[in-house]
Amino acid sequence: MHGQKYRYADFVRSLRPINGNVQDRLAQLTLQNFFWHIDVAAEEGIIDAALQGRLHAMRLERNTVHMRARTHRAFLGTSISPFNTTIETVRQTKLWRAANP
């Protein structure tokens, strides 16, 4: 890891350092929110800036979906964008993983 964001739960203010010396690092990562994962992945070069923006938009949409009444047709019309964002995330992650064994 090259960046600094992954070291803190609150990387904006460099607060709450994440303990990297624990045996179960996956458990530590699952405690972090989606915003953290998106920005750390972008800083590390796992995803590009365009995908970072799409993931943040998807995150914000997910956070507001329960606050609005939505019709079935509206849901189907907007579901393709998050699906394509997810597929692109998988593609970029696989490319990064292949280049960084």
Q: For residues 32 and 9, is the Cβ–Cβ distance under 8 A?
A: yes
At residue 9, the 3 state secondary structure works out as strand
At residue 24, the 3 state secondary structure works out as coil
Q: Is the pTM here over 0.85, yes or no?
A: no
Given pLDDT bands bounded at 50, 70 and 90, which one contains residue 94? Answer: very high
Task: Note the pLDDT tens digit of each residue in 4-58.
Answer: 676 666 666 666 767 666 677 777 778 888 888 898 899 889 999 999 999 989 8
Helix or strand run (H / E) with residue 47: none
Q: Which domain holds residue 45?
A: 5-99
Q: For residues 4 and 22, is the Cβ–Cβ distance under 8 A?
A: no
Cα 73 to Cα 64: distance, rounded to the nearest angstrom: 17
Q: What is the DSSP letter of 75?
A: H
